[in-house]
Amino acid sequence: MTVVDAESRFHVLAVDDSVIDRKLIEMLLKNSSYQVTTVDSGSKALELLGLRDEGESDSSSPSSSPDHQEIDVNLIITDYCMPGMTGYDLLKRVKGSSSLKDIPVVIMSSENVPARINREFNEATFRNTPVHRISRGTRCLEDGAEEFFLKPVKLADMKKLKSHLLKRKQPQPQAQPEIQPVAEQVEQPAAHKLEEAAAEVTAEGTISDCNDSGVNKRKAAAMEQEGLSSPETTKPRLSNSSLAVET
Amino acid sequence: MAASPLNQLNSHISNMYNSGLLDEHFMEMWRLQDGEESPDFIAGLVTTFLTDGDQIFNELAQLLERPFVDLDALSNKLVQLKGCSSSVGARQVRLACVQLFKFVSQQKNRDE
């Protein structure tokens, strides 16, 4: 068996505000032979990745501080609920960046609650689509996350990372047909895990840990004022407002 | 012949698992530690949990002592404790948090 040196190992950036969870994910990743860097916030993660907080990529500004340590990572694994920038916010920032969008992102969360999706304007019908609910995990997957792990993260979850890392290592377009089956295989376990998670959550009761509403916070605040139920509510509530339609 | 300290520890952990204090997640990490270069991983994790958990407990107690209990602050603390207990494998603590959280949620719904 050859010794794997630092340069040939995959580098994973783990983001979590909880000390315990950082220790745990670091152990699991190292156990799976990944090089690990841990940070306690989304903004620190972006800093390390070379994205300034205003959303500008470092390549657009010639003068970046020489003290700024920037790293190259092959995968980002982040907690969903964090103060300030949530894991979902971080996901959107990474996927919205030309330099970082190809880095696979995995989200970890202690809950897979139904996420309130703000009403969106449907241009075809010129009307706002009603507020609807999808699970947090589904929403993350739909918005670019490769996987959604329910905490506590297990060793078995680490095995799912490999395929996402290997996918990226194949740059040639003609490799696409080979990649497809891998992607399908991976999709299944994620969906399966979500079903398991949903069952688990119902069994022990849902806990709402942080807000799942969209990026537009003012919109979310306005909706709260209209009397729509907060995400903390576990049973469906009929809103007083005539605007709310829960499907 | 007295059991070695390690055997005693293993049997203590088995008992805790069998009585529901620890869950499968803890056992997985415990087993994982055997093959690890850092044999103090579990000790470090548990120590951190006990320290942080202690602090959260004190904060919970303070919140509950107030004449008007801040249910939102209480919920947040419970979520925090549920998170660490779940990550460390402390099953009873986690279940207690879930139970108390449900109760607090019911109280909140009643108040609104």
The mean pLDDT of A222-237, rounded to a whole number, is 41
Tell me the residue type at A224: E
pLDDT at position A121, please? 72
In the block, tokens 């670091």 appear at A26
Task: State the Cα–Cα distance between residues A96 and A143, nearest whole angstrom.
Answer: 11
Structural domain boundaries in chain A: 11-53+71-115+134-168
Tell me the three-class secondary structure of A205-228, residue by residue. Answer: CCCCCCCCCCCCHHHHHHHHHCCC
Task: For the beta carbon of residue A112, count every other beta carbon within 10 angstroms.
Answer: 24
Q: Which domain holds residue B46?
A: 5-109
A159-208 per-position pLDDT tens digit: 999 989 887 754 444 444 444 444 444 444 444 444 444 433 333 446 77
Does position A218 have pLDDT exceeding 60, yes or no?
Answer: no
Cα A237 from Cα B8, distance rounded (Å) = 52
Can you say whether the dihedral through the CA atoms of A194, A103, A119, A127 is positive or negative?
A: negative
CA-CA distance, A140 to A177, in Å (whole number)?
25
Angstrom distance (rounded) from CA B69 to CA B71: 6
What is the CA angle A209-A213-A216, rounded to 5? 135
CA distance A151 to A87: 14
**Cα–Cα distances in Å, from B22 out to A47, A63, A121, A137, A151?**
38, 52, 48, 27, 16
In this prediction, residue B2 carries a pLDDT of 72
Q: Find chain B residues with C-beta within 8 A of A19's C-beta.
A: 48, 52
Contact A233 B109 (CB under 8 A): yes
Amino acid at B41: F
- pLDDT band of B1, cuts 50, 70, 90: low
pLDDT tens figures, B5-50:
989 999 999 999 999 999 999 999 998 887 666 778 999 999 999 9
Looking at chain B, how many residues does it have? Answer: 112
Q: Are A42 and A87 in contact (CB under 8 A)?
A: yes
| Per-residue confidence (pLDDT) for residue A169, from 0 to 100 | 58
What is the CATH classification number for the domain harbouring B50? 1.20.120.160
Residues of B in contact with A21 (CB under 8 A): 83-84, 87
∠ Cα B28 B33 B37 (to 5°):
150
- End-to-end CA gap in chain A: 56
Does an H or E element contain A14, and which? strand A11-15
- Which residues 191-210 of A have a C-beta within 8 angstroms of B? 204-205, 207-209
What does the DSSP assignment read for A137-183?
Answer: HHHHHHTT-SEEEESSP-HHHHHTHHHHHHHHT---GGGHHHHHHHH
The distance in angstroms from the start CA to the end CA of chain B is 64
CA distance A7 to chain B (A): 20
Q: Is the pLDDT of residue A99 over 80?
A: yes
What tokens were used for B85? 């207990």
> What are the angstrom distances between the C-alpha of B88 and each of A172, A232, B14?
43, 25, 16
Hunting for tokens 């279940």 — which residue is that? B95
Chain A environment of B32 (Cβ under 8 Å): 27, 31, 155
Residue A67: per-residue pLDDT: 56
Percent of the residues in chain A that have a pLDDT greater than 70, as a whole number:
57
- pLDDT grade, residue A227 (50/70/90)? very low
The yes/no answer on whether domain A11-53+71-115+134-168 falls in CATH 3.40.50.2300 is yes
Query: In whole numbers, what is the pLDDT of chain B averaged over residues?
Result: 92
pLDDT band at A219 (very low <50, low <70, confident <90, very high): very low
Average per-residue pLDDT for chain A: 73
Nearest to B105 among A154, A155, A232 (CB): A232
What count of CB pairs under 8 Å joins A to B? Answer: 66
Instruction: Determine which of A209-213, A220-224, B4-8 has the lowest per-residue pLDDT on average.
Output: A220-224
**Cis preceding-peptide flag for A152 (omega within 30 of 0):** yes
Mean pLDDT, range A52-68, rounded to an integer: 53
Q: What is the pLDDT of residue B79?
A: 94
Q: What digits encode the pLDDT tens for the residues A128-161?
A: 766 667 899 999 999 999 999 999 999 999 999 9
Q: Residue B72: pLDDT above 90?
A: yes
Crossing angle for the helix pair B71-88 and B24-34, to the nearest 10 degrees? 40
- How many domains does chain B divide into? 1
Instruction: Let me know: does A145 contact A95? Beta carbons within 8 Å.
Output: no
**Which of A22, A24, A81 is the mutation pick for testing B, counting most B CBs within 10 A?**
A24
Q: What is the pLDDT of residue A66?
A: 54
pLDDT of residue A118: 62
Q: Is A225 left (phi over 0), alpha (psi -120 to 50) or beta?
A: alpha
Report the b/e string of A7-17 with b at 16+ CB within 10 A: eeebbbbbbbb
